[in-house]
């Protein structure tokens, strides 16, 4: 599955014309490869990334940093072997200058080595595992999203600030699920009503909901991405628990799940670095343009991909389109001289962002669509807790 934005022929023709006119070396178009998940139920997330990047490119007239740009999109199908072969094809055959990917941390782990060992820049528009934030940080890897734990830490901090005495925790029984609970606990010191691990892809939460109901906690903390979140929110609301405890969640109620959760999620809390109603320069225009073009509400996935395109635009302009001087390009990316839709943005020494984090709340808009909205800023200019283990200095 490939999308060629500006046809190869066209670019070649332009380059040839330019070469004939000036007699200088042929200017190659900038090549950006994107690897996101575009099949299966999580396709909604990859779609947001692709559309966000595309919107930025359209706004910039198909050029990044004033250079003709070829944008190639690949689907990792959420399979590590597929992700690796797509990454290799982008790097070796297409010889892209930058790879933008991925949505999921395990896909990032798969493509990381083939991309960075070929001295190609890899920019993650969403996945933010701790693996590459600490001692394995890499001069060719950047993240424009967040470090996964930060959203969980934020919720723990909020629970602590609210003086919650008793919190019920539930997450799927796999690594990210366990990380979520560890992250929450790192800032929360109150009692734990119970700590439940469900199978991944769990269908019926009735047994867990009955326990919540009996434990009568002040708040529930949960991490239930994708379809699990849709089912759980629905069942939680139907059981009448929404009025009895605060619902604190990460990656459970967002713009990719709200079209299915609808009214059932209203008033539930999420965590993130952005929301469609965040009051920053250009954000309202971004949301309006995105909805006009794609017909759905952009989530943080779309915003981060849009920011990635804008970041690349600033960096490529700074090096004057010379993609072969990797050190200069790296310095230009590090400078991050673009206006992020999320407001404050700069890179930490480990190439992960230093940014603000917010408690988000689900609301129904006047036009009947649903979105998360900024409730409260919890972290200001926050870097992640692994940056100190990264030896990179600049």
Partner 1 sequence: MQDDLVRSSGRRETIAPAFFGCDRAVSTTLILVQILNGLQLGILLFLIAAGLTLVFGVMGFINLAHGVQYMVGAYFAVAFYGLTGNFLAAMVLALASALVLGLLLEFLVFRHLYDRDHLDQVLATFGIILFLNQATIVIWGPAPLIIPTPDFLSGSIPLTGGLLYPVYRLAIIGAGLAVAALLWFIVTRTRLGMLVRAGATNPDMVSALGVDVRRLFMLVFGFGAMLAGFAGVLSAPIFSVEPGMGDNLLIVAFVVIIVGGIGSIRGSFIAALLIGLVDTLGRSLATDILKLFIDASSANQIGPAIASMLIYVLMAAILFFRPTGLFSVGRAT
Q: How far apart are CA 181 and CA 192, in angstroms?
A: 11
| Cα 121 to the center of its chain, rounded Å | 17
One of 176, 196, 278, 323 touching partner 1 (CB under 8 A): 196
Q: What is the four-CA torsion angle of 10, 11, 15, 17, rounded to 10 degrees?
A: 20
Q: Using the rule CB under 8 A, is 206 a contact of partner 1?
A: yes
SS3 per-residue string spanning 23-68: CCCCCCCEEEEEEECCCCCCHHHHHHHHHHHHHHHHHCCCEECCEE
> Of 102, 32, 94, 93, nearest to 63 (Cα)?
32
Least Cβ distance, residue 197 to partner 1 (angstroms): 5
Q: Using the rule CB under 8 A, is 343 a contact of partner 1?
A: no
Q: CA angle, 129 as apex, 306 and 339 as ends, to 5°?
A: 25
Tokens of 22: 């000036």
DSSP 8-class letter at 343: B
Least Cβ distance, residue 41 to partner 1 (angstroms): 5
Q: How far apart are CA 394 and CA 171, in angstroms?
A: 38
Q: Which is nearer to partner 1, 311 or 390 (CB)?
A: 390
Q: Which is nearer to partner 1, 112 or 205 (CB)?
A: 205
| Cα 239 to the center of its chain, rounded Å | 32
One of 14, 15, 60, 192 touching partner 1 (CB under 8 A): 192
Q: How far apart are CA 250 and CA 222, in angstroms?
A: 7
- Contact track, partner 1, 222-251, x by CB under 8 A: ----xx--xx--xx--xxxx----------
Least Cβ distance, residue 243 to partner 1 (angstroms): 10
Least Cβ distance, residue 329 to partner 1 (angstroms): 36
Beta strands 30-36 and 219-222 are unpaired
- 274 neighbors 300 (Cβ within 8 angstroms): yes
Q: Which is nearer to partner 1, 141 or 205 (CB)?
A: 205
Least Cβ distance, residue 107 to partner 1 (angstroms): 16
User: Which span sits near partner 1 by CB under 8 A: 118-126, 198-206, 270-278, 368-376?
Assistant: 198-206
Q: Using the rule CB under 8 A, is 61 a contact of partner 1?
A: no
One of 63, 79, 211, 318 touching partner 1 (CB under 8 A): 211
Chain positions 22 to 51 lying near partner 1, rule: CB under 8 A, are 39-44
Binding site for partner 1 (CB under 8 A): 39-44, 173, 182, 185-186, 189, 191-199, 201, 203-204, 206-208, 210-211, 213-214, 226-227, 230-231, 234-235, 238-241, 256-257, 259-262
């Amino acid at each position: 599955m490939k999308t060629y934005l500006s046809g190869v022929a066209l670019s070649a023709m332009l380059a040839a014309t330019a070469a004939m006119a000036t007699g200088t070396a042929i200017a190659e178009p900038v090549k950006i490869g994107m690897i996101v998940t575009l099949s299966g139920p999580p396709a909604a997330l990859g779609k947001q990334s692709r559309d966000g990047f595309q919107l930025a490119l359209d706004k910039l007239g198909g050029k990044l940093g004033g250079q003709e740009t070829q944008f190639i999109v690949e689907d990792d199908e959420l399979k590590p072997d597929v992700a690796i072969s797509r990454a290799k094809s982008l790097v070796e055959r297409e010889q892209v200058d930058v790879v933008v990917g991925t949505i999921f941390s395990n896909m990032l782990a798969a493509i990381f080595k083939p991309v960075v060992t070929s001295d190609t820049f890899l920019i993650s528009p969403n996945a933010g595992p701790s693996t590459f934030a600490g001692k394995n940080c890499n001069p060719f890897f950047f993240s424009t999203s967040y470090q996964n734990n930060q959203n969980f830490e934020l919720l723990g901090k909020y629970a602590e600030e609210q003086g919650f005495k008793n919190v019920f925790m539930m997450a799927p029984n796999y690594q990210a699920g366990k990380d979520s609970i560890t992250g929450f606990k790192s800032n929360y010191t109150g009692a734990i009503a119970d700590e439940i691990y469900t199978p991944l892809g769990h269908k019926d939460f009735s047994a867990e909901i009955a326990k919540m109901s009996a434990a009568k906690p002040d708040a529930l903390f949960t991490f239930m991405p994708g379809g699990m979140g849709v089912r759980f929110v629905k069942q939680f609301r139907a059981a009448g628990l929404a009025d009895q405890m605060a619902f604190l969640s990460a990656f459970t109620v967002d713009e990719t799940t709200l079209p299915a959760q609808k009214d059932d999620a209203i008033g539930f809390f999420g965590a993130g670095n952005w929301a469609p109603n965040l009051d920053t320069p250009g954000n309202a225009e971004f949301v309006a343009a995105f909805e006009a073009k794609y017909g759905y509400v952009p989530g943080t996935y779309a915003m981060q991909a849009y920011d990635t395109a804008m970041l690349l635009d600033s960096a490529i302009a700074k090096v004057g389109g010379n993609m072969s001087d990797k050190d200069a390009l790296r310095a230009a990316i590090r400078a991050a001289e673009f206006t992020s839709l999320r407001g404050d943005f700069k890179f930490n020494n480990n190439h992960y962002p230093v940014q603000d984090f917010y408690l988000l709340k689900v609301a129904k808009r006047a036009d009947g669509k649903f979105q998360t909205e900024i409730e409260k800023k919890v972290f200001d200019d926050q870097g992640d807790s692994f940056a100190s283990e990264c030896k990179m200095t600049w």
